[in-house]
Structure 1
Amino acid sequence: MPRRRHWHELPDEVRRHVEHHTGAVHAAYSVPTGASCALAAVLDTDTGRIFCKGGEIDGPTAWLYRNEARVNPYLPEAAPRLRWTMEEQGWLLLGFEFAAGRHPDLSPESPDLLPVVQLLSSLNHQLTPAPPIPMQRFADRWRDLIAPELVAGETLLHTDMTPRNFLLGDQLRLVDWSSPARGAAWVDTAFMLVRLIRAGHEPAAAEAWARQVPAWARASDEALKAFADGLVRLWERKQQAAPGPHHGPLLDAARQWRAHRERTNSR
């Protein structure tokens, strides 16, 4: 991952080019989340508050910023609007409208669970079919984890369902669309289900929550079992390649879901 920079560490010329879009920057607050960004900061400017993210043009994650810039015009209002892009002095930066809010609580009985399921259902409806732009198929991304026909579809997926990408303020927003894919509409809900299990839900209760999303309710048992198995193998790889404090709990949650799916499919 790129080394995180603070606003004041950017070259003077890069900051001046940002201010061509925003007016003077009066204060900058680094955002700790967003591991793929060299810069992630909230800027207080003459034209209001902006969220600015990005990195070096030749850096290993520049393609993620380009993904997000390409897809943003097609996203519904639940995604903050991209106001401008800037490529100068070897840096690629994106400026978004600022979205205030907190990350939702996914624990059992949390009132935040309802807006999350409502947003997933709404996005499925609004993003099917996917916009006519170049986009990786989820089946290709997971080609060694699951049979492609089980996850094929024409819905624009987010695919990074970490609670940190949800902001609950006056409405629930979903940010960081840097890894979009085209696939089955239920896939994002499947990613979210494992987050619920990690937050304390039993797998059966998490699936009951997921059934409120129409696309999930229509998914086949075969596809869900195969996805759960693929998710376990994916987190095993991540844990082996770069052990992290969140990898172990997510791997455990995926294993719990897989065991539940195996029991369900054997009945």
Structure 2
Amino acid sequence: MPTTYAWADLPDAVRGAVEAHIGPVIEATAITEGQTCDVATSLHVQNGKRVFLKGVRGVSRRMRFLRNEAAAGDLALELTPAVLFHEDIEADSEDWLVVGFEHIVGRAASLAPGSSDLPLVAATVNSIAELPANGFGTLSDRWSGGSSWHDLVNADPGTTASWNLPVSELIEWEAKAPDAVHGDRLTHTDLHKDQFIIDSTETVHVIDWGFPAAGASWVDSAFLTIRLVGAGHRSAEAEAWARTHLRLSEATNEQLTSFAAYVAGLWSYWASTDGEPGAPQRARMAREYVAYRLGARL
């Protein structure tokens, strides 16, 4: 877990570098929910302006994720908060990366059945799928060699048996997923309701681009289908909606089943190992959807 810094507790070199970009900070409000950075804060500066600052201390995967966020802003300019600055800093013999984003005021989208936000979300996801993933690695490479279902069975065979899923079949489908998701479109890969910020003009902003990749045009549509299941849609209804309003119809049944198998295994493995509070519920929705894809019954 990261060490959480308040603005006032940051090294002088870090605060100085930030203020060189935005001017003196008048007030800072820490943002703690859903953050994996060492500092995430809303900075109030002159003329009533606000800047959302994220920072990571130490070279790590988290620093790479934050660097991804800054880079994704250049590819999806109309959809993401503007990147105002980013800078690598050495402070107190440690490496820091800080990124200043446009401060977006709005609400999270609702993915519930019948929500008036669903058309806005659909248009946004489809816009992302039109964009090239210049400079990002492929989801195929990221998923290559995945063995989450095999690892789950070895770690806790009793629990996997209680899910009433054909694990040996899922292992076979999981192995096909890297080829299934191959493509060159920009994919967010972590879309859920809190990643869509809707402002007062009903404009949707997509945040938290820590895990972008090059993938098939339907990948984010498939991720969102699982989130629709978690928001209260039945799997059949969620998939039908995504086929009609998103890009899910561009995937074959085989591609979609392998995707669902991979994600259900990965999210279930994370739920069993990382202790994140929302991980078990996320894993359940993925297993519910893959059970539908297999024609099984939970």
TM-score, normalised with respect to structure 1: 0.92
Which of residues 194, 213, 220 is equivalent to 1:188?
220
Alignment size in residue pairs: 260
Is 1:229 the counterpart of 2:258? The answer is: no
Contact 1:146 1:227 in 2 (8 A): no
Residues 212-221 or 224-233, more deviating: 212-221
Unaligned 5+ segments in structure 1 are none
Alignment match, 1:28: 28
What is the CA distance between 1:214 and its match in structure 2? Answer: 5.0
Q: How does 1:1-267 map to 2 (within 5 A)?
A: 1-46=1-46, 48-88=49-89, 89=91, 90-125=95-130, 127=131, 129-131=132-134, 133=135, 135-143=136-144, 144=146, 145-147=174-176, 148-169=178-199, 170=201, 171-213=203-245, 215-263=247-295
Residues 40-61 of structure 1, C-alpha deviations (whole Å, 9 max, x = no match) = 1111112621111021143441
Contact 1:82 1:96 in 2 (8 A): yes
TM-score, normalised with respect to structure 2: 0.82
State the alpha-carbon separation in 1 of the partners of residues 81 and 234 from structure 2: 33
Residues 169-204 of structure 1, C-alpha deviations (whole Å, 9 max, x = no match) = 120110111211001111111111111111111001
State the alpha-carbon separation in 2 of the partners of residues 34 and 5 from structure 1: 15
Unaligned 5+ segments in structure 2 are 147-173
What is the CA distance between 1:156 and its match in structure 2? Answer: 0.9
Distance 1:35 1:219, change over 3 A: same
State the alpha-carbon separation in 2 of the partners of residues 195 and 150 from structure 1: 20
State the alpha-carbon separation in 1 of the partners of residues 110 and 211 from structure 2: 23
Contact 2:122 2:246 in 1 (8 A): no
Question: Which structure's residues are more often helix, by fraction?
Answer: 2
RMSD: 1.7
Residues 211-220 or 34-43, more deviating: 211-220
Give the counterpart letter for 1:112 in structure 2: D
What is the CA distance between 1:243 and its match in structure 2? Answer: 2.7
What is the CA distance between 1:8 and its match in structure 2? Answer: 1.5
Structure showing greater Rg: 2
State the alpha-carbon separation in 1 of the partners of residues 39 and 175 from structure 2: 34
Instruction: Give the match's secondary structure for 1:40.
Output: strand
Higher relative contact order (CA 8 A, sep 6+): 2
